[in-house]
Amino acid sequence: MYTFGVHEHINAVLKEHQVDVAGEDNSFYTRFLADTSAIFELYLQLYEHHPAAEQLFNDVIVTIIKAYQQRSAVLKQRDQSKLQQEHWFLSNKINGMSLYVDRFCGNLQNMQTKLDYFEELGVNFLHLMPVFESPANESDGGYAVSNFRKVDERFGTLEDLQQLQEEMRRRDMYLMLDIVLNHTSHKHEWAEKAKQGIKQYQDYFYFYSDRSLPDQYDKTMPEIFPESSPGNFTYIEECNKWVMTVFHHYQWDLNYTNPLVFIEMLDTIFFYANLGVDILRIDAPAFIWKQLGTTCQNLPQAHALLRLIKQCVQVATPGMAILGEAIVAPKEIMKYFGTDNYTARECDFAYNATHMALQWDMLATGDTKVMLAAQEELLKKPYGTSWITYTRCHDDIGLGYDDSMIEQAGYNAYAHRKFLKDYYSGVHPGSTAIGALFSSNPKTGDARISGSLASLCGLEKALNEKDETAIDLSIQKILLMQAHSFFLGGVPMLFYGDEVGYTNDYTYLQDEGKSYDNRWMHRPLIDWKKNKKTEKKGTVEQIIFDSTKKLLSIRKQVHAVADHSNIVWLTPHNVHVAGYIRQKNGQRLFCVFNFSNSSSFLTWFAFKEKGGAPSVLYDHWSGKKYETGADHEFFVLPPYGFALLEG
Ligand code: GLC
C-alpha cells in the first residue's frame, strides 16, 4: 500500500505543520525519526489491509504533531527534565494513592485542600479514579465514559482539574488518570449515533444483526461479570442489533480493527497527556483486540496496539509514562512490558496483581511456598519498567496465578482456591476476615474476593467483638501487608481509606447504581471526623496512619528500594517467612515478613548465605540494632511481625 519512503513523507508533513526541525523542535524531530520505523511497522501490523490505511496513517502523523504543538511550554520542559533522569518513575521517592474524588472529599476543588494531608502521609502521586462524564447509575465507578473530554459535573469542571494539576505540580506531586480504552458508555455520542443506525458509528463497535456470530464468540470468551452481566453481547432495541459488551451491558466494546477508532482514542490520550498526566492508566488493555475462536484477551494485536500507543507517546509527550492495567496470569503479564524488539517498549508499568493476590494467599495460609513458586516468572520483568505494588485497590482480588504454582507448593489447586475463597468470605471456621465473593461463576466455579484491607485482615470482626488483642493483631496484619508491598520494588499504590483502617461500607446496598456490584463495599465514603482521629494518640486510625507514614518515609530514605530490578529472594529457611533483599550501590536492605500467627525463627545464616555477611543489622522499622549471631542461632519475628534490616 505504501510505496514512498515513510521518513520522507513525515518530513514533508512536519514542514507543512511548520515544525522547526533545526531549531526549538529539534528534540521532538529526533525522537520522531528514531521511532518512525517502529510506528510504521506497528501500524502496518494492525491496519495494512484496511482500504484507507495509507490516508489514515497520515492522520496518525498529524495527530502526533498536533499533540506536540499543543503541549504547553511547562510540560515540554518537564518532559526534558524527566528524559534527563534515567527512567524517572523507578525512583523510591514516589508513593501513590488511588481514590475516588467524590467519595474522598466531594469534588476536585476540595481536593486542593487535601494536598497537605497527602504530603503529611508521604504520598506524592495521586491516581484519581475516572472523573470524566459517566451516566449516573450506569457508570461502573466512572469506567463507562460518555464523554472523554468533559469532567463529570459531580466532580467539577475541566478548569478545576487543571488547577488541581497545577497545584500538584507546584508541590512536585505526580498525577495519574485513566483512559478507558476498551469501551465507551452506551450514552457516548458514538454509541447514540450507532443506535440511530448510522453505519459509520456502528463500525466503531462490534455490531451484529443476529446471534450467529455472538454465539460463536461466546463459546470461547470468558464472562467478566457473570452475575450482573452474563454473556458478552447486548441486544440494542433501537437498531435491532447485538453489540459486544464484555463488561457491563452498558459498556460497549470499541472496535480497534477500525483505524478511525485508534486515531480518535490516540487523540484522547494526547488530550490527557497535555492536561499534565504523569502516568496514564490504560484501563483493561488485555481486552482491546477481539478475534473469533479465542478468549479475546491478551491477543498479539492488543500488544501491537499498546506498542503503537507507547511509541506515539514517546515522540509527542515523552514525560507521560504508561501503565497497562492488565490483571492477567503471570506469564501473560510479562508480555505487557514488551517482548523481542519491543522489550521495555510497551507499558512502562503493570500492576503486580499476581503478587498482590499471593500476599493474600500467604496471609490466609501462613505459608510462603505458592508465592515463591511464582517469583521465577515475576523476576523476568525487564529493566526500565516497573510495577505498581499494592495490597488493595478499587477492584476485587482475583486468584489468577497458575494452578501449577499451587501444585508446585504441594497443594491441590481446586482445594487451595476453595480454602482462600472460604477464608476471605468469612465462611471458613477460624477465619477473622469479613469479605464477600465477587462474580461467582457457577459454570466454572471461579470467584474473586471483595472486601477492604482492614476487614479482610480481621479489623471489622475484632471491632465488632470489642476484642483488643484481636484489634492489635489485625493492625499488625494490615501493616505487614502494606510493608511487604511497599518494599518489593515498584511504586506502592495505597487505596484511600486504608491509611486509616476503613472497614467495609455496606451502604452501597441501598444504592440502585451500586447494589449489584459488591466491590462497592471496599470503596468507602470518607468521613473526615474519623480521619481526624489520626491526631489522637492510641486510636486505631492514629496507629495505622502513623505507621503507614513511617513505612513510606523509610521507603523514601533507602535508595536501594528504587526499582532497579534489584530484588533477590531469601532461601525459604522458614516457610512462614517471606524474605527479600533489595540492594544497590553498596546499600542492602533485608526485608523479612512473618505470615504466621506464631513467632517465626530464622537462622542468622539466612542473612549471610547470599554473600557479604553483615555483622550488624539495623531495623529501620523498630529502630533496633542487631549483631548477627552464629549460623545456627535465630532472629525471631513475632506473629505477623516484620523487619526492614539494613546491613
Ligand atoms: C478495569 C477497572 C474496573 C472496571 C473494568 C471495566 O478493570 O479497574 O473497575 O470494572 O476495567 O472498565
- How confident is the model at residue 572, as a pLDDT? 86
- The whole-number average pLDDT for the span 483-493 is 98
- The whole-number average pLDDT for the span 76-101 is 96
3-state class percentages of the chain: helix first, strand second, coil last, to nearest 5: 45, 15, 40
CA distances from 533 to 110, 138, 257, 609 (A): 20, 35, 53, 45
Q: Which residues lie with the beta carbon below 6 Å from any ligand 1 atom?
A: 140-141, 143, 180, 247, 283-284, 325, 394-395
Point out the ligand 1 atom lying closest to the alpha carbon of residue 519: 9
Atom 11 in ligand 1: residue holding the nearest Cα: 284
- The whole-number average pLDDT for the span 201-228 is 96
CB 357 within 8 A of CB 363: no
- The whole-number average pLDDT for the span 121-126 is 98
Is 152 tagged catalytic?
no
- How confident is the model at residue 4, as a pLDDT? 53
Sign of CA dihedral 366, 395, 309, 183: positive
* Higher-scoring residue by pLDDT: 7, 346: 346
- The whole-number average pLDDT for the span 517-529 is 98
CA distances from 384 to 82, 87, 263, 309, 337 (A): 13, 6, 28, 18, 9
Is 325 tagged catalytic?
yes
pLDDT digits (tens, 9 = 90+) for 186-196: 999 999 999 99
**Using 50, 70 and 90 to split pLDDT, how confident is the model at 1?**
very low
- How confident is the model at residue 606, as a pLDDT? 96
Atom 3 in ligand 1: residue holding the nearest Cα: 395
| Helix H or strand E encompassing 200 | helix 199-202
The CA 83 to ligand 1 mean position distance, Å, reads 31
The CA 89 to ligand 1 mean position distance, Å, reads 24
DSSP output for 2-40? --S-HHHHHHHHHHHTT--TTTTTHHHHHHHHHHHHHHH
- Cα(76)–Cα(251) distance, rounded to whole angstroms? 35
Atom 9 in ligand 1: residue holding the nearest Cα: 395
Atom 8 in ligand 1: residue holding the nearest Cα: 395
CA distances from 141 to 155, 178, 461, 503, 516 (A): 13, 12, 27, 19, 12
pLDDT digits (tens, 9 = 90+) for 226-274: 988 999 999 999 999 999 999 999 999 999 999 999 999 999 999 999 9
Point out the ligand 1 atom lying closest to the alpha carbon of residue 144: 12
Q: Which fold has domain 566-646?
A: Immunoglobulin-like (2.60.40)
pLDDT digits (tens, 9 = 90+) for 404-439: 999 999 999 999 999 999 999 999 999 999 999 999
pLDDT of 3 higher than 50: no
Calculate ∠ Cα 543-544-547, nearest 5°.
80
Mutate to test the pocket of ligand 1, among 185, 247, 390 (most ligand atoms within 8 A of CB): 247
Which of 284-293, 311-320, 328-337, 435-444 is predicted least confidently?
A: 435-444
Atom 10 in ligand 1: residue holding the nearest Cα: 140
The three three-digit cell numbers of residue 409, written as one number: 507448593
- The whole-number average pLDDT for the span 170-180 is 98
The one catalytic residue in 178, 253, 283, 361 is: 283
- Cα(334)–Cα(346) distance, rounded to whole angstroms? 11
The CA 143 to ligand 1 mean position distance, Å, reads 6
**Using 50, 70 and 90 to split pLDDT, how confident is the model at 611?**
confident
Mean pLDDT (the chain, rounded): 96
pLDDT digits (tens, 9 = 90+) for 533-557: 999 999 999 999 999 999 999 999 9
- The whole-number average pLDDT for the span 480-505 is 98
The torsion region of residue 559 among left (phi > 0), alpha (psi -120 to 50) and beta comes to: alpha
The CA 396 to ligand 1 mean position distance, Å, reads 10
Domain boundaries, the chain: 100-179, 566-646
- Cα(41)–Cα(43) distance, rounded to whole angstroms? 5
The one catalytic residue in 79, 325, 505, 541 is: 325
pLDDT digits (tens, 9 = 90+) for 16-71: 999 999 999 999 999 999 999 999 999 999 999 999 999 999 999 999 999 999 99
- The whole-number average pLDDT for the span 78-88 is 95
Instruction: Look up residue 398 and give its DSSP letter.
Output: P
Calculate ∠ Cα 41-382-548, nearest 5°.
125
**Using 50, 70 and 90 to split pLDDT, how confident is the model at 442?**
confident
- The whole-number average pLDDT for the span 349-376 is 97
**What CATH number was assigned to the domain covering residues 100-179?**
3.30.750.90
The CA 247 to ligand 1 mean position distance, Å, reads 8
The CA 274 to ligand 1 mean position distance, Å, reads 24
pLDDT of 391 higher than 90: yes
The CA 283 to ligand 1 mean position distance, Å, reads 7
pLDDT of 443 higher than 90: no
**Using 50, 70 and 90 to split pLDDT, how confident is the model at 185?**
very high
Point out the ligand 1 atom lying closest to the alpha carbon of residue 141: 9
